[in-house]
Amino acid sequence: MKIVTVVGARPQFIKAAAGSRQLRKEHQEVLVHTGQHFDDNMSEVFFREMGIPKPDYNLGVSGGSHAQMTAKMLTGMEEILKTENPKALLVYGDTNSTLAAALAAVKLHIPVIHVEAGNRLGTLDSPEEVNRIITDHIAVLNFCATEDALEKLKGEGLGNRSYCVGNIMYDSFLHFADLPWENCNILDFDGTRIQAPREYYYMTCHRQENTYSDQPLTEILLAMNSLDAPTIYAVHPRNQERARRICEKETFQNIILAQPVGYSDSVHLTKNAKKIVTDSGGLQCEAFYAGVQCVFVLDYVVWPETMVGNRNQLAKADHKDILKKLSRTQSIDENYQPFGDGHSAEKICQIIRKWERKEL
Ligand code: UDP
């Protein structure tokens, strides 16, 4: 059957890499890029490196307020869906691209399939939470990454159309973690190649809560600067100016500022890091898969499954709290695998097949 898949932001490309590969074995997929992330190192590099098919459409929508972005995507998606008239729409995660595409489809009576459904933070202050809740409730099929997410959906009355299939990002992680790390391409802001030190901490930090002013990011970098090895900080494009300014002002010499890296580099930087500090939902899971301890700088838990044995700990954007959490040791129970077996895309396709045949 014809399925329109919509992606727009970095973590969605990583999920689509595994999803599209499997989906195209039995369906005709039309891929739409909303344009939410557009820099080469936030978008193109993932398509090139991960073998994601070239998008059939690019809406070119980025920037503006949440409402402006969502509205432009909504009207853009309506046109595409009318032209393509697919049997289903598939969306990943919780961005404005997810919400806009799902809304456009449901209004045209096109069934929505939501991958990475059911995650809940318990606060509508998070724009992603709003996107997730709405998308889950208008989808005909919800695919959850964990049992916990499935339980949340059961609690919201969506149990009869929700399935736990494991985390599709784990599929991509396993695939890339097994490949040799040959073409490492870490660049500083001026485009000069950086050699990763033998020992380092790996950091990403881009959420509004930590980057809306200099204060929280300065606290985080203050902690990282005082560690026993340098920190490689892969900086989201919108925070580069702030990160550079803080590091110069505070003369932080133990921080290596880098442009965003490709997926293979991110996976291997994760695997080989001493520890990880991040506010990224995806990276904290990858740290968990790799068995590398993580400190998650935010006020709320995003992946409760990772919060065991000090493997992932919440910290405030406060240098003392971050250092305290980093000083702890983790314990790993090898039998604990809450994110599935790395075959999530296959399970999703099996269930879609049954749904198409009305066998569910
Ligand atoms: N990532 C990457 N390059 C980087 C930083 C992160 O490929 O420079 C990957 C990371 O490995 C993870 C994903 O991007 O798979 C996380 O995306 P992001 O932090 O943008 O979104 P979130 O996880 O917060 O939704």
Burial of 314 (0-12, 13-18, 19+ CB in 10 A): middle
- 215 and 263 share one domain: yes
* Count of domains forming the chain: 2
Tell me, yes or no, whether 7 and 81 share the same domain: yes
What's the helix, strand, coil split of the chain in %, to 5?
45, 15, 40
| Residue of 209, 238, 210 lying closest to 224 (CA atoms) | 210
The answer to whether residues 141 and 254 belong to one domain is: no
pLDDT at 48: 95
Q: Given this model, what pLDDT does residue 181 score?
A: 84
238 and 307 both lie in a single domain? yes
**pLDDT tens track for 287-345:** 999 999 999 999 999 999 999 999 999 999 999 999 999 999 999 999 999 999 999 99
Ligand 1 mean position to 357 CA, how many Å? 36
Same domain membership, residue 161 and residue 18: yes
Atom of ligand 1 nearest to the CA of 169: 15
Task: Say yes or no: 344 and 322 in one domain.
Answer: no
Which pLDDT score is estimated for 184?
Answer: 83
In the reported structure, the alpha carbon of residue 333 is separated from the centroid of ligand 1 by a whole-number distance in angstroms of 25
Residue whose CA is closest, atom 15 of ligand 1?
282
What residue owns the CA closest to ligand 1's atom 19? 280
Distance 196 CA to ligand 1 centre (A): 18
* 151 and 7 assigned to the same domain: yes
CATH of the domain at 243: 3.40.50.2000
Q: Which residues pair with 186 in a beta bridge?
A: 194
The DSSP code sequence of 209-243 is HHHSSHHHHHHHHHHHHTSSS-EEEE--GGGHHHH
Residue 240 lies in a domain: yes
Task: State the first-to-last Cα distance of the chain, in angstroms, to the nearest integer.
Answer: 17
Domain that holds residue 108: 2-167+340-356
Q: Output the six-digit token pair for 65.
A: 């307020």
Catalytic residue among 175, 206, 236, 268: 206
Backbone φ/ψ region at 64: left (φ over 0), alpha (ψ -120 to 50), beta = left
Low-confidence ranges of the chain (pLDDT < 70): none
Domain presence at residue 175: no
Domain identity same for 149 and 30: yes
Write down the pLDDT at residue 182: 75
248 CA to middle of ligand 1, Å? 25
Determine the atom of ligand 1 nearest the C-alpha atom of 93: 25
Q: Are both 106 and 163 inside the same structural domain?
A: yes
Residue type, 43: S
Residue 182 lies in a domain: no
Tokens of 264: 């293979």
The answer to whether 255 touches 230, Cβ cutoff 8 Å, is: yes
Please state the atom number of ligand 1 nearest to the C-alpha of residue 284. Answer: 23
Quick one: which atom of ligand 1 is closest to the CA of 206? 19
Residue 160 domain-assigned?
Answer: yes
Query: Rounded mean pLDDT of the chain?
Result: 97
| Nearest-angstrom CA–CA distance, 172 and 262 | 13
**pLDDT (tens digit per residue) in 41-85:** 999 999 999 999 999 999 999 989 999 999 999 999 999 999 999
Instruction: Output the CA 77–ligand 1 centroid distance in Å.
Output: 25
Q: How many residues does the chain have?
A: 360
What atom of ligand 1 comes closest to residue 261's alpha carbon?
8
Which ranges constitute the DSSP H helices of the chain? Answer: 10-23, 45-50, 66-84, 96-107, 127-138, 147-155, 168-177, 208-211, 214-225, 240-249, 263-272, 281-290, 319-327, 344-356
Tokens 């039995």 locate to 26
**Contact yes or no for 53/20 (Cβ under 8 A):** yes
What residue's CA is closest to ligand 1, atom 10?
A: 283
With respect to residue 177, please indicate whether it lies within any of the assigned structural domains: no
| pLDDT on residue 321 | 98
Residue nearest atom 14 in ligand 1 by C-alpha distance = 11
Indicate if 206 belongs to the active site: yes
pTM summary value: 0.96
Q: Which residues of 317-340 are buried (b: 16+ CB within 10 A; e: fewer)?
A: bebebbbebbeeeeeeeeeeebbb
Ligand 1: residue of 204, 209, 238 to mutate (most ligand atoms within 8 A of CB) is 204
Does residue 190 sit within a domain? no
Q: Which residues line ligand 1 (CB under 6 A)?
A: 10-11, 14, 204, 234, 260-261, 263, 266, 280-283, 286
According to DSSP, the residues that pair with 57 across neighbouring strands are 32
152 and 57 both lie in a single domain: yes
In whole angstroms, how far apart are CA 221 and each of 20, 86, 202, 276, 315? 37, 47, 12, 13, 13
Q: Which two tokens stand for residue 194?
A: 């950086």
In the three-class reduction of DSSP (H, G, I as helix; E, B as strand; rest coil), residue 306 is classed as: helix
Same domain? For 289 and 242 the reply is yes
Contact 279, 301 (CB under 8 A): no
195 assigned to some structural domain: no
33 SS3 class? strand
Helix, strand or coil, per DSSP, at residue 66: helix
On whether both 322 and 344 belong to a single domain, the answer is: no
